[in-house]
Structures are given as C-alpha cells and as structure tokens.
Amino acid sequence: MSLVLLRHGESVWNAENLFTGWVDVPLSEKGLTEAKRGGELLREAGLLPDVVHTSLLRRAISTANIALDGADRHWIPVRRDWRLNERHYGALQGKNKKQTLEQYGEEQFMLWRRSYDTPPPPIELGGEFSQDADPRYADLGPALPRTECLKDVVQRLLPYWESAIVPDLRAGRTVLVAAHGNSLRALVKHLDGVSDEAIAGLNIPTGIPLCYELDADLRPTNPGGTYLDPNAAADAIKAVASQGR
C-alpha cells in the first residue's frame, strides 16, 4: 500500500515566522513553487495518487491542487476534514516565533512547539485569530479546540485515519495526504511507532513528498518513509528545527 504525505508549501506566515495553527493563510511565492516541485517529484517517481485527503485550510488545499495538477492527477477524488488541520496553536496564533522565544525562553518555547503533551495557553474566544465564528467549524460545537498539544492532534486525527484513509489504502489506492507540519508529525508518530519523547526531534519540511510503503498490518516496510528529494529535505528539516532562532 502506498501512502504519500505532503506538508503544504511555505505559507506567508511561515515566511514571516509567525505561529499559524488554524489561521487560514495562503501560500507564499516560494510555497507555490514548492507545491509545483512536489507535483513534479510525484510524476518523476511514478507515484500517482488515486485519492487525496486534505485539511480545511487553504495552504494544504492549494498545495494539493498545484501538486496534483503538475502530476496530471488534478481529477482524482478529494476529501477534506478538520481532523487533518494543523495543530491549534492556541494563544500563540499570530505571534512571532523569535519574539516568543525571547520573551519566554528556550525551554518554554520548545515545550509549546515540540513537547507531546503541553499545549500553549488557550486562545481567547472572539479574538482576531480565533476560529469560534468560522462557519466551516460550525458542526464541531464544544469540540472546537482553543489550543492543542500533539497528543490532542493524535487523538483527533486517528479516527479519520481509521475511518477514511485506511479504507482507501486497503482498496489498493495510492493515497496522498496533504496536510501540515504537526498533523503529519502526529501521523508519522502513529505509523512509525515513535515514542512521546522522540517525536520532539522530528520535523517535516514544506513541499517535499514523503512516501511510505505499508504492509498488510499497515506497518511501514520503509520505516521513517522516503523523501522524494532527500537532499532538499535534509536542509529544510534543519531550517524548521531552528525556527525562531
């Protein structure tokens, strides 16, 4: 079974070094180019998705559209779900990562960014960067998050993995999941059985397809997955890890 994970191309807020979470920002010019390159990599590798799953956020939706267009697979079925959204970054949404690091110090900054179970403070309802009045989440009711740690993301993502993505894989479809740094970290944690501690060290670069081959028990036969451009991925992973510095 073939599964391709694709973090969206660079967003305008990634470029400005702002915590984004559920704020629906577009791709930057560089992000548009990365998405196009992502599609070329898929085509060159002959990895042609039969179905795509995305979040409800335009940086993932646009990346999937551009990449699939480049791979001549713009016509495949698509499913979108809030469970693939980025981790809700709570009161940090809209804040600058460098300033946050300076204000709160390295330990607190990394706890919020990468610890498994420490969420940032919750966002204020009705605030500029909150989603409580956003119609796309109207059905969530009290389940609408006001902040999330990675553990929360794993918990809300896995029901979608089991009910929507696994059936596509079991039907023999090549599946593309176009999502986000932290929703994909949650999925990789599950696929590779990464410990709560070790997941802190895992970073996912923008716009480079990460491919998994899964056995009948949905275990990767290539643990850790395979980046279609490993050199570019190695450099970009370092850049994500050092954000804020």
Q: Which of 34, 86, 148, 180 is catalytic?
A: 86
29 as an active site residue: the answer is no
Stretch that binds ligand DG2, among 19-27, 143-151, 166-174, 226-234 (CB under 6 A): 19-27
Looking from the CA of 240 toward its CB, the CA atoms found within 13 Å total: 24
Contact between 21 and ligand DG2 per CB under 6 A? yes
Contact between 243 and ligand DG2 per CB under 6 A? yes
74 as an active site residue: the answer is no
Nearest to 136 by CA among 9, 23, 26: 23
β-partners of residue 210 are 5, 227
Contact between 20 and ligand DG2 per CB under 6 A? yes
Is there a binding annotation on residue 114?
yes
Q: Which of 8, 34, 53, 180 is catalytic?
A: 8
- β-sheet with 175-179: strand ranges across: 78-80, 51-54, 175-179, 2-7, 210-213, 226-227
Is there a binding annotation on residue 182?
yes
Contact between 82 and ligand DG2 per CB under 6 A? no
DSSP 140: G
Positive or negative torsion for Cα 214, 186, 22, 29 = negative
Residues near ligand DG2 (CB under 6 A) are 7, 11, 14, 19-21, 86, 89, 113, 180-182, 240, 243
